[in-house]
A and B are shown apart, each in its own frame.
Chain A
Amino acid sequence: MAHSPLHISCQEVVELVSDYLEQALPADDAALLEQHLNFCDGCVWYVDQVRTTINVVGELRAEDVPEETKAKLMIAFRDWKRG
């Protein structure tokens, strides 16, 4: 949820981008995020990158991921959780 009813920061765009792209953000917050995108080219670029990543990853099936990569990911997630 945005901290101010008037505007959101670049940091908040980063926090909210997934919900925004999944249309899970409350309408008022989505409006504030879009207002921010209207003047912040850096965040437009970031949101586009996340959108592209979601589209690409969304096409991947579990069996498409090599066993070696799966093992590396498991280690990375385990360490991330510990950290």
Chain B
Amino acid sequence: MKAYKVLRADGRGVFTAFRWPLPAARPGEWVRSEPKPCRSGIHACRPSHLPLWIGRSLYEIELDGEIVDDAMKVVASQGRLVRRIDAWDEQAYDAYTRMCADRAHELARGHGLDNWEAVIEPSVPEGGALLGFVAARIAEELDGVEGYHRERATQAEWLAERLQLSS
């Protein structure tokens, strides 16, 4: 199964600091671990999950073996990094952050949410993960859980289109 893996800029796992075998001319080595969500296993994203976990570097990952599908991620018993998504560079990262900030402004201004409006620009230096969350929280305040999910879906579509991702 094809999925996507967010790593730190240096190729280590975001939460585990695991040093992933990176792909070069060929895919990286297979990594194996018992698939238990948030405990062990190879954690990865479908395109729809990406806004929840977006970070500085992004890879396509091949998953195999036992695969656990979760609302927020997929977890597999084995995986290997296939290629770095080169389109996810500084420019794309900044563009995503800006898109989320603009969308947050649009929602907040359109409904007089001054408390939210005040936090948007100061949050921009923190990057797309935070701005995506801010936009989704404003949407949630306006339309409840559906609004939150709709905003996350819009962000995922932006990323999939810009980075040419598929599942």
Contact = CB atoms under 8 A, between A and B. Distances in A.
A-B complex is real: yes
Contacts of A41: 126
Contacts of A37: 15
Interface in B8-55: 14-15, 36-39, 52-55
Contacts of B72: 28, 31, 35
Contacts of A28: 71-72
B145 interface: yes
Given A31-B37, A37-B15, A39-B126, A6 B55 contact: no
A41 B125 CA distance: 12
A18 B18 CA distance: 22
A10 interface: no
Interface in A36-54: 37-41
A13 interface: no
B127 interface: yes
A30 interface: yes
Interface residues of B, number: 25
Interface residues of A, number: 16
A5 B133 CA distance: 14
B73 interface: yes
B117 interface: no
Contact of A27 (B39, B127, B145): B39
Nearest to A6: B148
B5 interface: no
Interface in B52-70: 52-55, 70
Contacts of B73: 31
A7 B54 CA distance: 15
B102 to A, nearest CB: 18
A16 to B, nearest CB: 12
Contact of B15 (A6, A7, A27, A34): A34
Interface of A: 5-7, 23, 25, 27-28, 30-31, 34-35, 37-41
Closest 7 CB pairs of A and B: A30-B38, A39-B129, A39-B130, A27-B37, A27-B38, A31-B72, A38-B129
Given A6-B145, A35-B53, 17 more contacts: A6-B148, A23-B39, A25-B38, A27-B39, A27-B70, A28-B72, A30-B38, A31-B37, A31-B73, A34-B15, A35-B52, A35-B72, A38-B14, A38-B53, A38-B129, A39-B127, A39-B130
